[in-house]
Amino acid sequence: MLEMIIDKLPTLAKIETTVASLEQKHGEASARVQGLTIKANQAREHDLNAAAVALNSERKVPKPTEPHLREQLDGAQRDLEVLERRLSLANSDRARHISEHHERILALLEEAHASQGSRVAAAASEALEALSAYHRAEDEARNLRRLHPAPALENSGGPESTSVVWGHVNTRNFTGGPQRGDLEGTLRYLVSLGAPTVVEGGGEDDLDAA
C-alpha cells in the first residue's frame, strides 16, 4: 500500500512490514490447520478400522494415533486464532496511522503524482518531437514524388497486380494504424501532464503579497 511514497513514511513502512509478515504467517498457519485436520480425520478412520479388525480377531486393540494429531490440531488452531487477532490489531494500527497523518500522506501522493506526470510529459515531449520529424520526412518524400516524379520505366513485362484504395489515402488505409492527428493529440495530452508553466508576475512585490 502507498508504494510510491512509503519510503518517506518510516512509521507506516514499519507497520506495513508487520502486516505483510503477519499475513504470511497467517497463511502458513491456516495451511497447517487444514493439513492436520485432514490427517486427524484419516487417523480416526484408520484407528476405528484397526480396532474393528483387532476385536474381530480377538487381539489387542492397537494404540490409536488420532489423539496425538488432535492435540497438534488444537495447538495449531490456537496459533491461528492468535495470529488472526494480531493481524486485526496491526490493520487497526495502519488505519489509525493513516487517519492521523491523512493530510501529509495526501500531500506526498500529490507530489508523487506531479513528479510522475513530469516524467510522462518529458517522454511524450521527446516522442512528439521525433514523431513530428518522422512526419516531416514523410511529407517531404510525398512532395518530392509529386513535384518530381520518377521517370516511367518501359513496360516490357506482363501485367502487374493492382491494389485499389477507396477514400483518402493515409497511413491507416495501409497499416490500420491511428491517424496522424490522433497520435499527436495523444502525445500533446501526455505532455500536458507535466508541471504547468509559471507565468512571472510583478516581481518581489507579488511575492511579498503572497
pLDDT value of position 183: 86
pLDDT value of position 203: 42
Q: How would you write the pLDDT of the chain (210 residues) with one tens digit per residue?
A: 688 889 999 999 999 999 999 999 999 999 999 999 999 999 999 999 999 999 999 999 999 999 999 999 999 999 999 999 999 999 999 999 999 999 999 999 999 999 999 999 999 999 989 989 988 998 888 888 888 887 776 655 555 555 544 444 555 555 567 887 888 899 888 899 886 644 344 444 443 333
pLDDT value of position 197: 46
Domain locations along the chain: 6-100, 113-146+179-194
Say how far apart CA 53 and CA 76 lie, in whole Å: 32
pLDDT value of position 210: 37
The CA-atom distances, in angstroms, between 35 and each of 21, 22, 32, 42 are 21, 20, 5, 11
Say how far apart CA 156 and CA 172 lie, in whole Å: 33
pLDDT value of position 176: 61
- Whether this model's pTM surpasses 0.85: no
Ranges of H-type helices in 57-163: 66-100, 102-147
